[in-house]
Structure 1
Amino acid sequence: MELPAAVEGKPGELLDLYAALLGPGWVAQVPAAEPEAVHALARAVRTDVPECVDTYHRTRWWTRLTPGGEGPERQLSVLSQEAQRLTADLQDREVRRQQTHTAYLEERGRS
């Protein structure tokens, strides 16, 4: 069973974003240093995205019978917003870390 065209790429986009955050290299070190980020990513990849797709497949017939009702597609939208916030938070933390390190180096250079 396929997802509707409006959301068919969403699970893949989310998983690609999560894969980029968790991939090998320095990028994965940023969320790895934040226990809440690790928890949010693990929960999203292991539970939330698969559950959204499964929910869609299990309730698809029901949403057709209730026009105007909110379908499981909304879950993917909420997860996408959460992923954007998580990414922005991690980016902000990394910027602050770099600023702190720059200030340290500048101070050390004055000594």
Structure 2
Amino acid sequence: MRSVTGWKGLFINKAFTKRINNVTKDESDYLLNYLHALCHNNFDMQLRFKWTKNAVAIWDNRSTQHSATYDYVEARAGDRACSVGEKPYLDPTTTGRREALAAEASR
């Protein structure tokens, strides 16, 4: 899919992504398990937000994943606002992050 950055993107979410099209169920299960582990275990791709009094956290679900860690004891309250965005689509001419950054570095 083409992400908001203009680069190739992959939407994967354990709660919503159930199957990869055009592969067998076994292949799909294997790939999804790998991708879920990749997203969950790569700490260099994660941000830990430290909640403090009056803190505000904002993220864009089109290009990030939210995963709550319940490592607190204090009561918290929050509101969620969702915007209406474009439906993801496959653009085969889109470059990936690696290609885009390499092209930028060669200029």
Q: Could you state the TM-score of these two structures normalised by the residue count of structure 2?
A: 0.25
User: Comparing both structures, which one devotes a greater share of its residues to helix?
Assistant: 1
Q: Could you state the TM-score of these two structures normalised by the residue count of structure 1?
A: 0.25
Higher-Rg structure is: 1
